[in-house]
Amino acid sequence: MTTLTFRGAARTVTGSRHLLELPDGRRILMDCGLFQGSSEYLHLNSHFGFAPHSINALLLTHAHIDHCGLIPRLCREGFAGPIFCTPATRELTRLMLYDAAHIQEEDIRHINKLRLKQGVGAAEPLYTSGDVTRCLKQFQTVPFGEKFEPLPGVECLFTVAGHILGSAVINLIFQDSKGQPIRLCYTGDLGRYNDPIMLAPGQPMPADYVICESTYGDRLHDEDADTASELLSEIEYTCLTKKGVLVIPAFSVGRTQGLLYHLNSLYNKGKLPSVDIFVDSPLAREATQVVRRFPELYNERLRKELEKDADLFGFPGLFFVETHEESQKLNERKHPFVVIAGSGMADAGRVKHHIMHRIDDRKNTILITGYAEPETLAGRLKSGAKEVRIFGNEFPVRCEVHTLRSMSAHGDAHDLLRFLTAFEPKKLRRLFLVHGNYESQLYFADLCRAKGYTSVDIPSLGAVRSLE
Ligand SMILES: [Zn+2]
């Protein structure tokens, strides 16, 4: 029997891990992500639901932590096989995993201080920087469009997903128990066809089974929204009119580079006001360096722009903040400025400090730039909370909270359906929807059925499906 088991991102958006078992018992794991957004996920993050040593190979779609964030733990618990991804994904994953390990090591120090007071034993982090260093030795990179065998007799091809730098769609061909070929496509996270930076999603291979993300399966992005002008008016309003501070929580990988690209375009057009802009995230600085190293993964329009401007992510007045001391100094700064800092959902990282210091003054603005889980700090601010809890203290929300309309690294319902046109409805045996809230998935399933994809399946966590 050939089976698929959904061990994460099933009727939810984080913790992507999908397990393919071949008739001879060999196992391929696709993605190994961290569940995020709730402390209830601790159990799911420390228990895989399968034996890590039983996995023969891991295929990684992209560097976001909800897709790669548990790889060091998987390896620490006995997975010794190869990990395949694109070269850019490896570079970004290295940064992401060291950052995640660092955050966990810091968190556990705080937690253990409390536990010591309560007289309970010390807790362990999910993994350490040492575990990251060890797991990186198992990585093997394969560029887009080059076929390879993750295991003997299994063919794989990475095609462009267009979501973040290096992000891939996994196309697999293997044999069922009767020796017949099965073709499987797993989208990972899909980008937009008109992303300002990324290549559009590429043409996948034909498939019998598709595992498709569905984050925005019930939404259409506002195509008329112009991110650069929205950003400009936020800066002018907060920094020039109100003379305040504009705090922008943003993911260090992907979103921050998107923001820098738009700010750089404004600068090139002579529109950017002379207000200092700080990126307060060493991770974002390093990720921006990685993005600069892979211009071949930009879309054509951007590559043309590169001929006129050698640095599309840098301009005078932009400063990258390195140390904690420099970061803290920003809290005392009186005159207007813009600060971009991680994390995007403001549930961790330096942005929490910036929000805490600016939240009680109406002349400041917090600008949310993307999806935020409802329980996170950004999520609560976005939903209009009058008071929020930061580092154990309640703060009244006196500053303004705005949301950018147009930035998303995920395709909307049109983009997802456009991607699916690569598969003939009659030939597709099953379309599995993952990586979405259940309500959005139900809505998107109806859209798929209307296009002729009759066997849509929304597996729950732990669901096992036969592919024969
Ligand atoms: Zn992603």
Residue 124 Cα to ligand 1 midpoint, Å, equals 27
* Residues 420, 337 share a domain: no
Residue 257 Cα to ligand 1 midpoint, Å, equals 15
Residue 68 Cα to ligand 1 midpoint, Å, equals 10
Where does a domain end: 375, 403, 431? Answer: 403
- pLDDT for residue 224: 66
* CA angle 258–339–314, rounded 5-degree value: 45
What is the pLDDT tens value at each position of the chain, 468 positions in all?
999 999 999 999 899 999 999 999 999 999 999 998 777 788 889 899 999 999 999 999 999 999 999 999 999 999 999 999 999 999 999 999 999 999 888 888 878 888 888 888 888 899 999 999 999 999 999 999 999 999 999 999 999 999 999 999 999 999 999 999 999 999 999 999 999 899 999 999 999 999 999 999 998 888 767 899 999 999 999 999 999 999 999 999 999 999 999 999 999 999 999 999 999 999 999 999 999 999 999 999 999 999 999 999 999 999 999 999 999 999 999 999 999 999 888 988 899 999 999 999 999 999 999 878 888 899 999 999 999 999 889 999 999 999 997 788 889 999 999 999 999 999 999 999 999 999 999 999 999 999 999 999 999 999 999 999
- pLDDT for residue 370: 82
* Residues 29, 177 share a domain: yes
Residue 10 Cα to ligand 1 midpoint, Å, equals 15
* Residues 344, 299 share a domain: yes
Residue 309 Cα to ligand 1 midpoint, Å, equals 28
* Residues 189, 66 share a domain: yes
Residue 143 Cα to ligand 1 midpoint, Å, equals 19
- pLDDT for residue 221: 86
The domain total for the chain is 2
Residue 31 Cα to ligand 1 midpoint, Å, equals 11
Where does a domain end: 373, 403, 433? Answer: 403
* Residues 390, 269 share a domain: yes
* Residues 385, 433 share a domain: no
* Residues 242, 212 share a domain: no
Residue 452 Cα to ligand 1 midpoint, Å, equals 27
Residue 207 Cα to ligand 1 midpoint, Å, equals 22
Q: What are phi and psi of 295, to 5 degrees?
A: -60, -20
Residue 203 Cα to ligand 1 midpoint, Å, equals 19
Please state, in angstroms and rounded to a whole number, the distance separating the CA atoms of residues 185 and 172.
6
* Residues 94, 33 share a domain: yes
Residue 60 Cα to ligand 1 midpoint, Å, equals 11
* Residues 157, 236 share a domain: no
pTM: 0.93
Query: Could you tell me which of 395, 324, 379 has the C-alpha nearest to residue 346?
Result: 379
Residue 1 Cα to ligand 1 midpoint, Å, equals 31
Interior/surface letters 178-195, b for 16+ CB within 10 angstroms, e for the rest:
eeeebbbbbbbbbbbbeb
Residue 238 Cα to ligand 1 midpoint, Å, equals 30
- Please list the alpha-helical segments (H only) found in 313-376: 324-332, 351-358
Residue 410 Cα to ligand 1 midpoint, Å, equals 8
* Residues 338, 284 share a domain: yes
Residue 260 Cα to ligand 1 midpoint, Å, equals 19
Where does a domain end: 385, 403, 421? Answer: 403
Residue 129 Cα to ligand 1 midpoint, Å, equals 22
Helix 351-358 to helix 324-332 angle, to the nearest 10 degrees?
Answer: 10
Residue 393 Cα to ligand 1 midpoint, Å, equals 31
Give the number of C-alpha atoms closer than 13 A to the C-alpha of residue 441, restricted to the C-beta side.
22
Full domain range(s) for residue 393 = 227-403
CATH number of the domain that 14 lies in? 3.60.15.10
Residue 139 Cα to ligand 1 midpoint, Å, equals 19
* Residues 337, 272 share a domain: yes
Residue 64 Cα to ligand 1 midpoint, Å, equals 5
| Tokens, residue 205 | 């291979």
Residue 24 Cα to ligand 1 midpoint, Å, equals 32
* Residues 414, 301 share a domain: no
* CA angle 321–324–329, rounded 5-degree value: 75
CATH number of the domain that 242 lies in? 3.40.50.10890
